[in-house]
């Protein structure tokens, strides 16, 4: 595949040279004499026009018809396009025959050309039968060849996309793990748990359980291609509850989720960068602050809305500078939910919000 891709232009060029000269190399001697007597340049012009049209049809089918119609199962439109192109090509061949070839033949009597003596050239819809057969065969070969090349090309693209997705997933998992299991978060959480233990608080055991569940999910479950939406929400809950341990009375976090969350699966660790971003920039010990996290599932449409105030002056004004986390999510959305997601990010008047919508497919129900 790499060889074909590397030498694609040369392969196309050699193929077309062979295709163009082959008719002239395979003409029998007797017919070639008839060609010469009937003014061979006229046939050459006709052949060149025919070849140019076939080349155009080849690349039109290669780059448009097969990828956009045949591969996408729109066979009716594909067949209609081919039928229309074939008819146009027949009409063009009749025009070139009548314009360039036929006048030269008429200069000679049939006795001067033994190959055509004492017989009429049969026609099909006013088109000489030899030209009809030639058009049909050449058109069929061009369509078959271009469709085959398009299918091979599409197979290679799908293979490369799968490889790219695997690489992106691995890189994303490593990046997310580095971001989410940050020393700062772990140290704060462990210090809070130690403080609870010294106070002999009943919340100590619960906090340890939440932290262990969070780490277990990130290390083991997040390696899968899909996790249930319910698992992802439980992970967010544990993360939020652990973050709440360090909040003052002026800080409030609202996490609301509703809908058929048990019916779907999703790409793991897709939402946490938005939530982590809200905690990073949306809390202040001296000012009241509210972080809103709302997740809804309606039919096959999932919507995540996160809104938080911005107290940190270093907060990036552009999404491209918002850190690896959110950029990483954008790449993963484009890879795993192409044409099935919409992400709107607003940073204005001291507030930052994200509004993410994903259309879940039938192939993504929870197992």
Instruction: State whether 318 and 239 are in the same domain.
Output: yes
41 located within any domain: yes
The domain in which residue 73 lies consists of 2-162
Q: What is the pLDDT of residue 108?
A: 52
pLDDT digits 0-9 by tens, 1-28: 554 556 567 777 877 777 777 666 555 4
Instruction: State whether 294 and 147 are in the same domain.
Output: no
Q: What is the pLDDT of residue 255?
A: 96
Q: What is the pLDDT of residue 122?
A: 63
Instruction: State whether 256 and 133 are in the same domain.
Output: no
- Domain edge (last residue) among 108, 134, 162: 162
Q: What is the pLDDT of residue 162?
A: 82
- In what helix (H) or strand (E) does residue 220 lie, and over which residues does it extend? none
C-alpha Rg value of the chain to the nearest Å: 34
367 located within any domain: no
pLDDT digits 0-9 by tens, 219-261: 888 778 789 999 999 999 998 988 888 777 888 999 999 998 8
Q: How do the residues of the chain divide into helix, strand and coil, expressed in percent and rounded to 5?
A: 65, 15, 20
Instruction: State whether 150 and 206 are in the same domain.
Output: no
Nearest to 299 by CA among 260, 271, 343, 337: 260
**What single string gives the DSSP state of each residue in 222-288?**
GGSS-EEHHHHHHHHHHHHHHHHTT--TTEEEEEEEEE-GGGBEE-TTSSHHHHHHHHHHS--SSS-
366 located within any domain: no
pLDDT digits 0-9 by tens, 131-169: 677 778 888 888 998 899 888 888 888 888 888 887 777
253 located within any domain: yes
- What is d(CA 220, CA 207) in angstroms, rounded to the nearest whole number? 20
Distance of CA 292 to the CA centre of its chain: 33
pLDDT digits 0-9 by tens, 273-315: 899 888 888 888 788 899 999 999 998 999 999 999 988 654 4
Instruction: State whether 197 and 58 are in the same domain.
Output: no
168 located within any domain: no
Instruction: State whether 138 and 204 are in the same domain.
Output: no
pLDDT digits 0-9 by tens, 35-87: 545 556 766 777 788 888 888 999 998 898 888 888 888 889 989 999 999 88
Instruction: State whether 157 and 191 are in the same domain.
Output: no
176 located within any domain: no
Instruction: State whether 187 and 324 are in the same domain.
Output: yes
Instruction: State whether 71 and 15 are in the same domain.
Output: yes
pLDDT digits 0-9 by tens, 93-134: 778 777 776 666 555 544 455 555 545 556 666 666 666 777
68 located within any domain: yes
Instruction: State whether 67 and 151 are in the same domain.
Output: yes
Instruction: State whether 335 and 191 are in the same domain.
Output: yes
Nearest to 236 by CA among 252, 220, 256: 256
Counting the structural domains of the chain, the total is 2
Instruction: State whether 15 and 141 are in the same domain.
Output: yes
364 located within any domain: no
Q: Which CATH number goes with the domain that contains 236?
A: 3.30.565.10
């Amino acid at each position: 595949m790499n060889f074909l891709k590397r030498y694609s232009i040369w392969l196309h060029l050699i193929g077309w040279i062979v295709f163009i000269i082959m008719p002239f190399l395979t003409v029998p001697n007797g017919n070639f004499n008839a060609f010469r007597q009937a003014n061979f340049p006229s046939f050459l012009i006709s052949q060149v026009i025919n070849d140019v049209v076939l080349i155009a049809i080849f690349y039109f089918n290669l780059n448009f018809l097969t990828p956009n119609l045949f591969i996408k199962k729109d066979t009716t439109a594909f067949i209609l396009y081919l039928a229309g192109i074939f008819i146009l090509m027949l009409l063009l061949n009749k025009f070139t025959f009548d314009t360039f070839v036929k006048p030269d033949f008429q200069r000679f009597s049939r006795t001067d050309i033994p190959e055509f003596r004492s017989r009429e050239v049969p026609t099909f819809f006013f088109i000489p039968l030899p030209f009809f057969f030639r058009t049909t065969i050449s058109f069929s070969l061009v369509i078959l060849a271009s469709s085959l090349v398009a299918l091979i090309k599409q197979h290679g693209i799908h293979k490369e996309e799968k490889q790219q997705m695997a690489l992106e997933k691995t890189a994303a998992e490593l990046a997310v793990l580095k971001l989410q299991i940050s020393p700062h978060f772990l140290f704060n959480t462990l210090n809070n748990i130690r403080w609870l233990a010294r106070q002999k608080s009943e919340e100590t055991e619960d906090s340890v359980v939440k932290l262990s569940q969070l780490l277990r999910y990130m290390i083991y479950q997040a390696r899968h291609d899909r996790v249930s939406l319910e698992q992802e929400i439980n992970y967010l809950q544990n993360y939020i509850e652990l973050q709440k341990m360090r909040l003052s009375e002026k800080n409030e976090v609202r996490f609301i989720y509703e809908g058929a969350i048990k019916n779907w699966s999703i790409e793991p660790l897709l939402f946490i960068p938005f939530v982590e971003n809200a905690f990073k920039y949306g809390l202040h010990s001296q000012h009241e602050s509210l972080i809103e996290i709302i997740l809804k599932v309606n039919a096959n449409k999932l919507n995540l809305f996160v809104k938080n105030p911005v107290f940190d002056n270093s907060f990036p004004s552009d999404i491209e500078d918002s850190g690896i986390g959110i950029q990483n999510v954008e790449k993963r959305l484009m890879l795993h939910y192409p044409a099935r997601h919409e992400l709107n990010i607003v940073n204005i008047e001291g507030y930052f919000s994200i509004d993410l919508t994903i259309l879940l497919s039938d192939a993504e129900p929870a197992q």
